[in-house]
Amino acid sequence: MIERYAVVAGRIRHELGALDRVVERIERAADGARRQSDAQEFYIDSRGAQPA
């Protein structure tokens, strides 16, 4: 593989790993919010509406 493509591919792989970690963290936060009904007022959904 051409060296510069290998560098770009490596960067993409690194970023995918970072994105996976962010998604996992968000999922844990959302699960925590679902379990604590008294804290749900502090969370909004992806459309910007308050949770029901």
pLDDT band at 19; cut points 50, 70, 90: very high
- What is the model's pLDDT at position 35? 81
Global pTM reads: 0.56
Pick from 49, 31, 51: nearest CA to 41: 51
Mark 21-33 as b/e (b = at least 16 C-beta within 10 Å).
eeeeeeeeeeeee
pLDDT band at 47; cut points 50, 70, 90: low
Query: Rg (Cα) of the chain, in Å, rounded?
Result: 18
Task: Give the whole-number percent of the chain exceeding pLDDT 90.
Answer: 38
Average pLDDT estimate for 15-29: 91
